[in-house]
Structure 1
Amino acid sequence: MKIIVPMAGIGSRLRPHTLTVPKPLTVIAGKPIVQRLVEDIASVIDEEIDEIAFVIGTTAKGFPTDTEQKLLQIAKELGAKGSVYVQEVALGTAHAIYCAKESLSGPCVVAYADTLFKADFKLDVNADGAIWVSKVENPSAFGVIKLEDGIITDFIEKPKNFVSDLAIIGIYYFKSGDQLLKEIQYLIDNDLKENGEYQLTNVLESLKQQGAKFVPGTVNAWMDCGKKDPTVDTNKQTLTFEHEAGNNLVADDVVLQNSEIIQPCYIGKNVVLQDAKVGPYVSIGAGSCITNATIVNSLIQNNVEISNANLENAMIGNHAKYNGKFTSVSIGDYTELI
């Protein structure tokens, strides 16, 4: 089994956090989003993963030079071969997959790296394909599917009238990566674009018309990492799942000086808490120092200094300094103090 992860978007909705770190490498509860994504997929497919192929953007789009190294390490930790491809020009969802054409063979999962999920179903690898879906309150904002006898009959993009509340979350299984590549190649060779891009939905429809049967994979939780508030909420949900599973996410070397940690929390290595109350639902990255502060439901990255602060629903990037009693400030582009 192979996993293809298109992740070439610049993540503009999550700025300023994505100015130096690609969105899929943003750390949630101690792990990058993309690492959690492939781990969750591995648990659902229950198959040995042979290869994980990542499709990234160019350094000109903000992807640091060490991005490839970090992604290859993620694949290695799952016991899989890692491959990294670059999408030079954004030409749609199908084109992003096409960039990994050298890895498109045999059964594969395609997963766009801006979402996390929790599911307790096991994938039927004998099906022609599967599409992960989640029930939503406002289907008109999503692509949705229609079902008949457990088989997907239609794909509808942002329906104006109600046809289904099962939204496509951006994770797909294909029994034949070779056939998937063939259909994408047909789109590109014939320049069949929609709104100027090569779309995966057109590929799905073509495969369905040729007799391929797609089944749904319904998830229990669908967590978005597109903007700041949903990302903080995803951190909260992930910490809850980890805590319920009995996992301790507080490093052994955390220094507590007149401080309290209210679970669930993730606290990285070499963190110092002095006169602080942290939690619940707080992640603090390695090497950070929190002094005279109360922090609730927040996502704090590595090597951050926070003092004299009362924070809730906050997201603070790497190497940041925040003093709640500031009078002299240095604030860059896209920064928000609310």
Structure 2
Amino acid sequence: MFSLVQLECFIAVAEELHFGAAAERLRITQPPLSRQIQLLERELGALLFNRTSRRVEMTAAGASLLPSARRVLDLAAKMAVDVRRVASGAAGTLTVAYTAMAAQSALPLFIRRAAADMPDVSLVLRELVTTDQMDQLVKGTVDLGLLRPLVARPGIQTREIMSERMVAAIPAPSRLAQPTGPISLLDFEHERLLMYSPTEARYFHDLLLRLFAASGSQPVVIQYASQVPALLALVQAGLGLTLVPASAQRFAPEGVVFRDLDSNSPADRLNIVHLDVAWSEESTNPAVAKAVEMLTRPEASAVGALGDPQADAAEETPGTAPAP
């Protein structure tokens, strides 16, 4: 089989029609150049050049080979560039899983930054609850997860990328929706609480239990759901009230009122929701490291940089500085 070196020598002679000039162009001496052309002709079983003491002419076989030889060398050069880009994480495919709330907070800004910093990396997006994301990360079917911090899994690395507070989501007709200002968790006493699933939404389920226990309030759980949008739909229907991350206010359905929680409550120190990026230590996808670096840069991981409406607006508005 002929080599890329032989094709490169052939193209140089074909374009220069002079062995001396072609050798100078390739920075080699003329004898090895002639040898490569002879080997190529022997491999192809065809004479590529008519040589005389005064001139060099391409044969019909040589003229036929030239465009194909150029395409092969161009393809080889592109292949080398593509391989280097994939190896550096600048190209390839990245499968990213995210929770429903991450889709409304961290994910949009991540996608915009990936488009700017990793334009040749194709993103495959999958909405999964945190427990399912962990399972898929362990199996290697997901490269990156945007999830809530749970019990650590062997081989899975996590790093916080944003945090926010929980707020009360209340049906508009409720007596608790009428006042303005912060609301105390004690006001939830004996109210109908829409609760997070203890299996599929264990992070939020456990957080609400801690918040109500710290405040001494005992609402009545009437229904469970695994996702914030489903809970907000139940609130909209007037079935009860719940607590959701503050970023949920972005996609609030009509008829749902949000109120901040009292910062003077004994439970206030517990009122913080974290979102992490997670990846497998055994991942062989170079784009993972590049994406993690992008997500955890100081300007990206600070509260208010990922998932904050003011920061998003500042980034989308030319000439506007991010909110401090």
TM-score range, shorter chain: under 0.3
Indicate the structure with greater helix content.
2
TM-score of the two chains, using structure 1 as the length reference: 0.24
Counting strand residues as a fraction of each chain, which structure ranks higher?
1
Mark the structure with the bigger radius of gyration: 2
TM-score normalized by the length of structure 2: 0.24
